[in-house]
Amino acid sequence: MGITAKGKFLTWIKQLAITQWPILAIVFVWLIFSSPYFIKGLVPFPSKYLVTFFPPWSAAYAMPVKNNAMPDVATQIYPWKKLTIDMWRNGQIPLWNPFSFSGTPHAANYQTAVFSPFNLLFFVFPFVDAWSILVLLQPLLAGLFMYIFLRSLDRSRESSFVGSIAFMFCGFIVVWMAYATLGYTALWLPLILFAIHNQSKKQSWWNLLLLSVAISLSFFSGHFQISFYILGISLLFLIFKSFLYKNKKSVISLFFFFLLGILISLPQLLPSLHAYTQSFRSSAFSKGEIIPFQYLITIFAPDFFGNPVTRNDWFGHYAEWSSYIGVLPLLLAVYSSIGKKKKQIWFFCFIVVVGLLLATPTFLNDVLFSAKLPVLSTSSASRIIILVSFSLCVLSSFGLDDLIADWKMKSMRKIILFILSILSILLFFWIFILFKKPLDTEKLIVAKRNLMLPSLMALVACVLFLFGSIKKTFIRLFVLICLLGLVSFDMLRFVSKWMPFDPREYVYPKMAVIEELQKRVGVDRVVGNFGGEFSMMYGISSLEGYDAVYQERYGEFGTAISTGKIGTPERSIVRLDKHGKYSEEALALLGVRFVLHRLSDGRFGWTYPIWEYPNYHSVYKDNYYELFENTNSFPRAFLASSYTIITDKQRVIDELFSKNFDRKNSIILEREPLIKPQEGKGTVSIVRYTPTEIQFAVNTSSPKLLFLSDVFDSGWKAFIDGKSVPLYRADYDFRVVSVLEGNHKISMKYQPDNVTWGLRVSFVVLIFLLIGSLKELVYAYRHI
């Protein structure tokens, strides 16, 4: 009996290996890529880059760095995730970031991926391990989802494997993998198309449920532009399928569940839309990040113009323009377009053509820019390349099946013509490179070197295409194994070159100056040459920031500090002019109590000139940094006794920074307060300060205006002794509450109405989907 059971089990294992070997192979390839984390304990985070290039660590560390082309991971993405998880742990929805731009929306930033269910990883694993798993899951999920989709298109296991490996390590996913956002927005596309395709053929509740969930997960994953592209191609695919199958009931249900997926996403979409309309980005239309035509050679040879990893790239924009899917998948994609085409091939060819037209300097790109469409006309046009890469990966699967079919039918003429065409193109290109010499000597050496391996792989592929036509089974099997191995080797080579795996001990290591600041600062602000990698990670409030959707009004305030005139803010950055006309006045008003000075910076122009002002006193010094206290700094919150109404923005700045204006006792408002302030004594203290709630204790003998030097936002609500009161915009872009005389408990809470409504709608839709799923399960159980 035991032998029989054992035999059955072994038979089952054998059968599983035969039928599901591509999934096992995808996991195996992924494990090879991820082995530095699982075997060596290294983390997929550029920690050496962090400590070598970013303060305060750069003053103490210096080491060779693999990839210095992903600064946003260190300065934005990881710190945002840390703030997000800390707030969730403290029972707060991560809606506001108090550590950048004197306060800025956090969830509405979108790239923070506050509502992503993958945040649960951080409640199971230590933070750096949760981050590592979050990053590494992207290619695995992309590969598995792509395999599911390709199999639903009736692709063979071999061809589905090729398309899956090409997609999971395509250029777009590889160069953005360390961000753990853009890859997640894209990897749901195969599942969305799978749900549409299956529902078009046979109606099922589970297809519709998958469609809604996958769409919402894409929108929750942290990059609206890519999710918008995913939504666009999915709608086109739905329309294409509706014409193909002409099933009206199925089409209506698909459109309805499309809508439900968007409604689930409203807690993310509504606040992001509001933040976008308030940001400088909403009007910063720019024709940037367009892929030059000559750069398209990198679809075949990704490092033709160099690579940031090897420090020999000269064209720039490697990450923004990466479109590589592998040499063999590219050849197979081209092969699929030869001869009689299936209707599905036409669809994906159409996406490739349109995607390239929108990503390159063509008339379509000009039309898109001229239309000044929100998001699309203010973002990098080249990122639509993800749709091109995805479609080419799908076509590569069709191409391999076509090749296998041609082998079986001995359609040698088509195969030979294709091989001759590839060889002719390669020969022409090499002759052009060697004799025309379109680049200067140094660049030409790089280009030739990085063209050799892709050319060699193309030649090997051509030889294998020929050998596959031999009728003997074992030879054809050997050729297929070689082709699959070639794809795996190529993509592993590509991803391993780009992706850093660094020691975990360099992930935001502690330093003496960090510990000193955390002991001293409290709610006060600090100025110095540092960014979000320092301020957000350690809860240090900063005037500056780097984010695509910071508030335009605050950016204007930053420009006015320089000259006294409101100028055009920078696209994604607010930085203090350290030698601005009104820098000192701004630092005092906004509660900047400390200036962090790197000793090796001396008196260079990029440091704050503390030596020019007598109000700065050294309070701490170590081998790398000195900390100065600003004795002129105002408290973060104070009581004022008078106000002026000014609605013209430039006049507000003129009055605010005029020599005769008492900034500590008078406030500039844009509308009349309900309670008029008066002279008299009063005190205010900040009892509790969290990102989304601030509590004050006020004791005053007369009515006052309570000023807080945090950025004003309509989502902030004010309460006095539990009763809602108006919150006013003050001193151009900060907050004020009118207070009557007496002892009061005052609070400010960040409660945007758009988030509240978004959560309500999302909750109702999720309940509907849950009830529908339970009904389907009950129905299935009764019919077993």
**Ranges 464-478, 615-629, 702-716: which has the least confidence:** 464-478
* Mean local confidence (pLDDT), 100-126: 96
Average pLDDT over residues 350-375: 83
User: For the segment 238-248, what is each residue's pLDDT rounded down to a tens digit?
Assistant: 999 888 877 77
Percent over 70 (pLDDT), the chain:
97
Q: How much is the pLDDT for 642?
A: 95
What's the pLDDT at 784? 67
Task: Show the tokens assigned to 60.
Answer: 């103490």
Residues 142-178 pLDDT 10s: 999 999 999 999 999 999 999 999 999 999 999 999 9
Q: What local confidence, expressed as pLDDT, does residue 249 receive?
A: 78
Question: Residue 700: which of 641, 644, 643 has the closest Cα?
Answer: 641
Q: What's residue 622's pLDDT? A: 94
Mean pLDDT, rounded, of the chain:
93
* Over residues 586-603, mean pLDDT: 95
- Alpha carbon 270 to its chain centroid, in Å, reads 18
Residue 287 has pLDDT above 70, yes or no: no
Spatial separation of the C-alpha atoms in residues 715 and 745, rounded to whole Å = 20
Residue 548 has pLDDT above 90, yes or no: no
Residues 6+ apart with CB under 8 A from 153: 197, 344, 394, 397
Is pLDDT above 70 for 2? no
- Rounded to an integer, the average pLDDT of 20-49 is 96
At residue 1, the pLDDT reads 47
- Segment 369-378 shows an average pLDDT of 68
SS3 track for 538-601:
HCCECCCEECCCCEHHHHHHHHHHHHCCCCCCCCCEECCCCCCCCHHHHHHHCCEEEEEEEHHH
Quick one: tokens of 360?
Answer: 């390159």
Under the banding of pLDDT at 50, 70 and 90, the label for residue 381 is confident
Asked if the model's pLDDT at residue 284 lies above 80, the reply is no
- Identity of the residue numbered 596: L
Residue 317: count other Cβ atoms within 10 Å of its Cβ.
18
- Looking at residue 202, its pLDDT comes to 86
- Tell me how far apart the alpha carbons of residues 458 and 478 are, in angstroms, rounded to a whole number: 18
Confidence label for 764 from pLDDT (cuts 50, 70 and 90): very high
Residue 625 pLDDT grade (very low, low, confident, very high; cuts 50, 70, 90): very high
| Residue bearing the bigger pLDDT, 102 or 285 | 102
399-456: pLDDT as tens digits: 999 999 999 888 788 999 999 999 999 999 999 999 988 899 999 999 999 999 999 9
pLDDT band at 782 (very low <50, low <70, confident <90, very high): confident
Percent of the chain with pLDDT over 90: 83
pLDDT attached to residue 3: 58
The pLDDT, as a whole number, for residue 425 is 95
Q: Which amino acid is at 30?
A: W
Bridge-based pairing state of the strands 742-750 and 716-720: antiparallel
Residues 58-87 have a mean pLDDT of 94
As a whole number, mean pLDDT of residues 200-223 equals: 94
Residue 377 has pLDDT above 70, yes or no: no
